[in-house]
Amino acid sequence: MQNLNNPRWLFVINTLPITILLFLLFSQYNIIHSQLTIESIQQWKAYGGILICITLLHLLQAIVLISCKKSIPVYSAGISLFIYILYVYSYYSHIDTLIPSSIPRWMLNGEIIFYLGTFIMPTLIYSILLIVSYFTPPTKTHKLWKSFLGAFLIPIVLYLTALLIVPLWKNVDGDFAIHSVIILIIASTIIFLFFIIRGVYIITLRKSFFWKKNHLIWKIPITLILPVLGLLFNSGILMEQHSIKGIMGDFNSPWFYIITIVNSILLCLPNLTNRTYRYLLFVGRTITFSFTLYFFIVFLPFLPVSVIAIILIGVGFLLVTPLLLFVVHINELSNDYNFLLSQFTQRTIKISSFVAFLTIPMVVTLSFVKERQTLENVLEYLYTPNYTKEYHIDEASFQKTFNIIKTNRAGNNNSLMNSRIPYISTYFNWLVLDNLTLSKNKIDRINNIFLGKQPNKPRRHRNIQLNINHDVKITHSLVESKYDQKHHVWKSWIHLELTNQNKNTSLSEYATNIVLPNGSAINNYYLYIGEKKEMGILAEKRSAMWIYTQIVNEKRDPGILYYKTGNKVAFRVYPFSKDEVRHTGFELIHKEPVKIVMDNVEIHLGEEREQDSKIIETQDIAYIPSGQKSNLDKIQRQPYFHFLVDISKRNEDQKDAFIYRINKIMSKYPELSRASKITNVNSNLYSCNDYNDWKTFISKAESKGGFFLDRAIKSTLVKSYYKSDESYPIMVVVTDSLNHAVLDKDFSDLAITYPENKLFYLLKEDKILEPHSLITNPQKPCLQTSELSFYYPCLRYKCSNGRIAYLADDKSSSIVLKKDSISIDPKDIKEDDWISVMQIKGSWISQNLNPSQSNTEWLNLVKGSFISKTMTPVTSYMVVENEAQKAMLKKIQNQVLASNKSLDIGEEPQRMSEPSLWILSLLIGLILWIRQRIRIRKEPGKLK
């Protein structure tokens, strides 16, 4: 410990953590400052300025001492300890002004109010260590019993003070009483830590024969017994009350116990003078020192309440175990280092120690990198697949990764006792999940696909789940359509008056769906909040939806427009009180006259113009207006059956029955069966290459996982589209029920692939084909009003580049892709340009056909949307009511745009970043509660 007075330690102990703290505080202030009062802003600046000054003084001190080749004086440690304790106490005494309760919790950067204590704690402990080192010089003999007696008496004295003296202070001024109690607790804790650290340090200094021969008497309890007891206590094994399980984090992995034992063995081995032995021992101890240091950092926030914990629950001494272990470990490494200096060069020792120290962190990092790669492969297979590629997922490997993800999943803290591993989970979420997460819906979906486990109860997505009712209606609408001569396009505003006709007093939400015709898009939005007209912000879709949910939870004013599937747009406004009238509106850009239907209200936009009803082609797309479809060739392509057979784990005994059903339906429809195809479906897809042996193909298939029907239908549609011949598939799903199928949403995004038949069929046990819609509610059967028909006409269009496209024979306009794959360059996108809007639309359709492109092209779509100021399926128009919400939206959006698009922001506002911080929260809560009691006592007429 004599080396601790090297001023270079100040860079690591003080400058680095305080710089991180200042960055966190500054980023938080930038978000919430618009919602703070003048008093709060002044306090932010005051405390920030003071912290900067203190940090700069420490930095200057370190530089001066290094240049003068001097050590840190002990009085400097005492002054630093006093100043920082005073600063922390003052800061938390005014925390309710710095971060008012009016600031929504989801706007806070983790638990920012507790970060100050966490990042300043290293400086406090370092100061205590320096003071201990100064008052315990190794050249003198020190009484060991005095230190341990002092540490033992502190909790007793504090307990007796609380029991006997505090009740006598009833008539003492409230401010004086509370400040005295807090100062007493702080002083007691510091003195306790001083004595306990000094006691262990004295033991390590003992060089007498007794202490050398019997070093295991004190080393084994500190390095093995107490750490293992702490792990067992935290796991709940030592306590009957399981409610405290994992109170400090999830340390149940066998590796924590294994490394603890190995670390103890290395620290307890004798320090022999053999050169090779001592070098290997030093390397081993340096490897496990990162483990000791980790627990030392994790338990730093607990040290201020170690004395109180000893009094209250009797096992508080376990809180100081990592500190004691840290002191022993540092001392052993120091002894090894001093010995090896005479045997090796200083360069060799430093390089060896550096590599050894990074061993465990590097193993953890490499493990996480592997988990990330496994996760990316699975997410690609599930959400951004290449439909022409065969995937071979190592399900056993992924299951391991999946379990780790569920454990470390951000936002999974349901209480103070949680399952996350302090700091390691944060590192995991950063490296593997890009600080995002997998939502509960996706976890349930993955369980269903790979394990065949359905959620116990169908989970409604929490996102935007409100008190929706049908009493909020459109009571008036106004249309303003203007033709833009410059861009040859219509721009139409739809102004709406919405009235809540619900007679109860609960807040309600207006929610409806709008189907936009092809060739139209939303390019502006507004919502009146009170008397102020707030214009919509165009933002990345997932970010906007997450922010919307958080705002609604606070019962504030948001409004949002976003694409669901296909051309279906969700429109939501919140909140509506009883009989409230609100005004909102959005603007459409469209080439032709269009009709919008909202809540059974027909709204007509634009007028017919002959010059705008022509087919338009660009290099990538063709736009066919509805009026031009009558001029296209109407043809009849040949349909054929494509059977999607359920061979999931739950249907292992149904293969013969499925074969029998297929055989019967083939006999009934021989023309559709001549060129039929068979695909076995579980968590993966397996196509039958030998049609003559299709029965064996089904009967010999391995039944496993879930029924990934969503993937099977999409793959079938896309492959049929790219085949582009005079035939099309009639998809027949062979299973007992669609209730267990993985079928998340409809297939409107792939409407370009099925111009004829918008149905697929369920082959039921009675050999009857039950129709289901590809457009709406695929799991629910369609009402069958007539005999089944599989022959539908379509329209054939030949592009200027010779490509043949097949269009639906209806009265709506169509967009045709002239290439297999289309991407956009944001540089080519222009504002208020309808062609740019159609290029973006074509790129979106292309990504649905080629999801593997979306990880790169998705960003171009978002950028193109921002440039054109037009809402797309990857963006959303949103109205928020204040600058703080806008700042938070921007922050979340930047995070999302830098991550894997298949990950989620989360379903709950983030809770405490590290489980140890709940101790600080209790302390701060106690201070605030006592301050409140003092105010009540001082107010006239209040009971004292």
Secondary structure in 3-state letters for 281-343 = HHHHHHHHHHHHHHHHHHCHHHHHHHHHHHHHHCCHHHHHHHHHHHHHHHHHHHHHHHHHCCC
Residues in Cβ contact with 343 at an 8 Å cutoff, skipping those fewer than 6 apart: 275, 278, 279
Give residue 44's pLDDT.
94
Stated as kind and residue range, the H or E segment containing 493 is strand 489-500
Query: Which of 106-115, 259-268, 900-909 is predicted least confidently?
Result: 900-909
Give residue 313's pLDDT.
56
Give residue 47's pLDDT.
93
In this prediction, residue 573 has a pLDDT band, given cuts at 50, 70 and 90, of very high
Give residue 175's pLDDT.
60
Express each pLDDT in 640-650 by its tens digit.
999 999 999 98
| Mean pLDDT of all residues belonging to the chain | 83
Phi-psi map region of 566: left, alpha, beta (phi>0 left; psi -120 to 50 alpha): left
Give residue 462's pLDDT.
41
Residue 454 has pLDDT above 70, yes or no: yes
What mean pLDDT do residues 512-528 have? 93
In terms of pLDDT, which residue wins out, 546 or 937? 546
Give residue 170's pLDDT.
57
For the chain, how many residues are written? 944
Express as a percent the part of the chain with pLDDT over 70: 85
Residue 806 has pLDDT above 90, yes or no: yes
Residue 143 has pLDDT above 90, yes or no: no
Query: Which of 259-273, 547-561, 765-779 is predicted least confidently?
Result: 547-561
Angle between helices 321-340 and 275-298 (to 10 degrees): 150
In this prediction, residue 942 has a pLDDT band, given cuts at 50, 70 and 90, of very low
Contact 846, 817 (CB under 8 A): yes
Residue 435 has pLDDT above 90, yes or no: no
Give residue 785's pLDDT.
61
Express as a percent the part of the chain with pLDDT over 90: 42
Separation CA 706–CA 700 (nearest Å) = 17
Separation CA 682–CA 902 (nearest Å) = 21
End-to-end CA distance of the chain: 51
In terms of pLDDT, which residue wins out, 733 or 552? 733
What mean pLDDT do residues 234-251 have? 66
Indicate the pairing of strand 727-734 with strand 759-763: parallel
Contact 691, 642 (CB under 8 A): no
Residue 685 has pLDDT above 70, yes or no: yes
- Report the 10 Å Cβ neighbour count for 745: 13
Query: Which of 91-105, 357-371, 657-671, 893-907 is predicted least confidently?
Result: 893-907
Separation CA 407–CA 426 (nearest Å) = 11
Separation CA 431–CA 413 (nearest Å) = 20
Separation CA 264–CA 921 (nearest Å) = 33
What mean pLDDT do residues 230-242 have? 71
Task: Write the DSSP string, 854-903.
Answer: HHHHHHHHHHHHHHHT---TTEEEEE-SSHHHHHHHHHHHHHHHTS-TTS
What mean pLDDT do residues 27-49 have? 92
What mean pLDDT do residues 784-801 have? 87
- The verdict on pTM exceeding 0.95 is no
CA 222 from centroid of its chain's CA atoms? 38
In terms of pLDDT, which residue wins out, 150 or 526? 526
Amino acid letter, residue 623: Y
Query: Which of 277-286, 369-378, 663-672 is predicted least confidently?
Result: 369-378
In this prediction, residue 943 has a pLDDT band, given cuts at 50, 70 and 90, of very low
Residue 532 has pLDDT above 50, yes or no: yes
Give residue 102's pLDDT.
83
Give residue 321's pLDDT.
85
Express each pLDDT in 330-353 by its tens digit.
888 988 999 999 999 999 999 999
In this prediction, residue 549 has a pLDDT band, given cuts at 50, 70 and 90, of confident
- Report the 10 Å Cβ neighbour count for 434: 15
In this prediction, residue 910 has a pLDDT band, given cuts at 50, 70 and 90, of very low
CA 932 from centroid of its chain's CA atoms? 36
Residue 709 half-sphere exposure, CB side, CA atoms within 13 Å?
Answer: 27
Give residue 366's pLDDT.
93
Express each pLDDT in 468-492 by its tens digit.
557 888 999 999 999 988 888 999 9
Backbone angles phi, psi at 529, to 5 degrees: -110, 105
Express each pLDDT in 719-734 by its tens digit.
999 988 889 999 999 9
Task: Write the DSSP string, 701-755.
Answer: PPP-S-B-HHHHHHHHHHHHHHH-SSEEEEEEEESS-STTB---S--GGGGGG-S
In this prediction, residue 453 has a pLDDT band, given cuts at 50, 70 and 90, of confident
Give residue 419's pLDDT.
47
Residue 301 has pLDDT above 80, yes or no: no
Give residue 937's pLDDT.
46
SS3 684: coil
Give residue 304's pLDDT.
65
For the record, the structure tokens of 379 come out as: 């997410």
Give residue 871's pLDDT.
95
Query: Which of 27-41, 540-554, 635-649 is predicted least confidently?
Result: 540-554
Q: Which residues does residue 537 pair with via DSSP β-bridges, in sequence order?
A: 878
